[in-house]
Every structure is written in C-alpha cells, then in structure tokens.
Amino acid sequence: MSDHNQSLWLNTCRELVEPSVSTGDITVDLAVIGGGYTGCSAALTAAKAGASVCLLEAHDIGHGGSGRNVGLANAGLWLPPVEIRAHLGDMVGDRLVDLLAAAPSEVFSLIDQHGIDCEPVRNGTLHCAHSAAGLRDLQVRHAQLSAAGAPVELLSAELTAQRTGSAAFGGVLFDPRAGTIQPLAYVRGLARAGVEAGALVSTQDPVQSMQQMDGIWVLKTARRTVRAKWVIQATNAYHCDLTALAPAYVPVYYFQYATAPLSDNLRASVLPGDEGCWDTDLIMTSFRMDQEGRFIIGAMGDLDQAGGGIHKRWIKRKLAQLYPQLADQPLVEGWHGRIAMTSDHIPKITQIGPNALSVHGFSGRGIGPGTVFGRLVAQSLLQDDPSLLPVPAVPEYQEKWIGLRRAYFETGAALTHFVKARF
C-alpha cells in the first residue's frame, strides 16, 4: 500500500536542518510549537531580533501541510479584496490586503537572503477559467485586484493557450507578483536560517502539556521542560496532543500526483513560462512543473479514504484533457496533505493565554500568509504591541458541524471525480 505521507518534495528536498537541542531543560524568551511556515518564520524573526527561541516540532520540520503544499507562492488569500473587507472592515481589511499583496516579495526575499535551495521561480501564477462562469469570476477578481493596485492581467483564450500550452481554458488571470517554490525545501530553509540566527530547534519532540506558572509558560515534552515568557502555537491542521488548545477548523484534504521528468519535446509544450496554475472549478485543480521537468497535478481529496482510487483515475483523465500529449505519462508519485479551512477563509489568531497566541486557518494559502503571520505575531509579542498583528486576536474561535462538513467536502470531491472520470 502506498504511503501518501511521502511526498515528491520529501524525495527531492536539498535543504537540511539539524536539530540544535540535545537533552535537558531550557529557558528561553519565546517557545514556538510547530515547524511549518508560520512557526519557522516566527522563530527566525525572533532570533534575528536577539530573542532566545526554542521551536518544538512533533515530527520533522515541514511534516504537515507546509511539506505537502502545491508550492504556489501567491499574493493574498482565496477571497478577493472586497470580501476580505466585508469580513474584517475597511481598516483591518485594507491592511491585510496590503500585507498579503507583498507576501511573495517577502518569501522570495528570505530565499535570497538566506540562500534557501528551494527551486524558486518568480514568473507569476495563472488562475485559469475552466468555464464561462469561471471567466466571469476572474473578471470580477481582476477588477477588484486592479482597484487595489495589483498588477494583474486578464488574458484572452488565445494568449491563455500560449501561456499554458493547453486549449482547455477560456482565459487566465495572470499575477506577476507570485511564483513557485519547492515547498518543503523552503520551510526547512527557514528553520535552518533560524538555527543560524541562534534559535534552538527540537524535532520528534511533541509538547504534551502547557501551563503558565508565576508569569512564565511551562511546556513539557517527553524529553524536556521548556520555560518561556512568550508562546506561539503554530500547529494548524497537524495539531498533536494539547487537546484543550486544539485550533478549530474544517479538515480538507488535497492530493497531488507527479509524472517522471518529461522529455525535452514534451517539456517545451507544457507551461513554457514555468508559471504555477490553478483553475476556477469548485473542486479545484492545480498544476505546475518542478525544476526537473516533472508535471505535478492535484485536487481536493483524501487518498486514504474509499475514494482514493476514484481520485487517481480522475486525475489521469484530467491530465489527458488538459494535455493530450501527456496522456501516456505514468503518475509515479502520489501524496496528500490536510488543510485547515475556516468558514470565512480568513486565518485566525487566538489568544490562548497571557503572552500566548495561536495561529491557524490559512485555507490552503500557507506559504505567503504563513510567512507574514509568523513574522508579525513574533514581532507583536516581543514588542508587546497587538497593533502589529495582521488581524486582531480573538479570545476563542469555534467552527460548527466540523465532522459533517469534512464528510461533505470529501464526498463531494469523490462524487465529482467519479462522474468526471467516467464521462
């Protein structure tokens, strides 16, 4: 049976981060729980600011969604700016829109600054219209993003075919701010940079309990006790133990498959500009190339559930529909990851105690927003300035009908793929 936790990214990652903690108890300024984009960004930020930091990861750096990501370093959230403002108000909404518009620049700047070996390609992304309704959605997004100052372009069907190498789309929204990365290598590069800046990193070390005593947080693992003035919990959809502090979200699975490296002739016919892509379908499809010329395609679905076989049959058909010349290419890698979805698709910051914040809910947009949120949450705690937070912290956050909505998403994806795999 395939291990769908073993991603292509794990097999091709060239970034290494050695745990910098052996044994014994530790006292630091900041304890970070979780070694994904948010946690590693926070640890790096705090260490560069001169604070003592310990990052505790239950598995390996990037074990969760950060290491299973599609690798699209996009600007913004799934929501267009008008909807973000509707949820947050104009002042907070405008600030979040501006912060996340600059998120790709922050990501690629960190890559350059710290020499992160993560296959960075900043040639933009293409949001592809799969239907007439999808094209209308892109027209709305184009108008809103342009009004907010984003340098996006809406391309015709003819130009879309040239840019994608596929005749399947009626248009695309091109965002030159964005790009692609090897997502696991990026997060491990952030962790490695944090260690170089002085942060302590302990992997395979899940936090089992956490409480505040005399103004100091006391975190216990099976191997050590960590005492810290400040705590950032950045476990997102891969929270372990600490059930009382588990973030509330709807788990949504997203899977990907990859081909072997394509021949030069085939490679030249697919995404000649190396943009990363996703479409406007309700059950979204993403596709991109990696540095070695593998074509990577993915969609919503859990490969370990009963619909796993349906998802794979559908993805092979989808590949042939998008690129008939790739129809005979075997899919040699398959993996999936868990996304923390919130009802409004806006990330949440929760005040889990004095000087302690939890961050979660990127709804599939973890690379740029996670990097930005990690930096700003760390700066907010170190400077005792809540106004630095990208969104206000709330005392608690809850989601309703989590189990039913999880089943709804997975059943909907499986049924959609079942029908489309047959016709």
Cα 109 to Cα 115: distance, rounded to the nearest angstrom: 10
The arithmetic mean of pLDDT across residues 28-53, rounded, is 98
For the chain, domain boundaries = 8-124+177-422
Query: Ranked by mean pLDDT, which of 13-27, 206-220, 406-420 comes out on top?
Result: 206-220
Proportion of the chain above pLDDT 70, given as a percent: 98
* Segment 131-165, tens digit of pLDDT: 999 999 999 999 999 999 999 999 999 999 999 99
Q: Span 8-124+177-422: which CATH code?
A: 3.50.50.60
Cα 362 to Cα 341: distance, rounded to the nearest angstrom: 7
pLDDT at 305: 87
* Joined tokens for residue 6: 């073993």
Paired with 27 in beta bridges are 227
Q: How far does Cα 200 stand from its chain's mean position?
A: 24
- When the pLDDT of each residue in the chain is averaged and rounded to a whole number, the result is 94
SS3 213: strand
Instruction: Specify the pTM.
Output: 0.96
Cα 314 to Cα 283: distance, rounded to the nearest angstrom: 12
pLDDT at 2: 64
Cα 70 to Cα 278: distance, rounded to the nearest angstrom: 10
Cα 389 to Cα 33: distance, rounded to the nearest angstrom: 18
Task: Say how many C-beta atoms besides its own lie within 10 A of residue 349's C-beta.
Answer: 23
- Angle (CA) 230-385-99 rounded to 5° is 105
pLDDT at 357: 98
pLDDT at 191: 98
- Between helix 81-88 and helix 90-101 the angle, nearest 10°, is 140
The arithmetic mean of pLDDT across residues 355-362, rounded, is 98
Quick one: pLDDT band at residue 1, thresholds 50, 70, 90? very low
DSSP 394: B
The arithmetic mean of pLDDT across residues 341-352, rounded, is 96
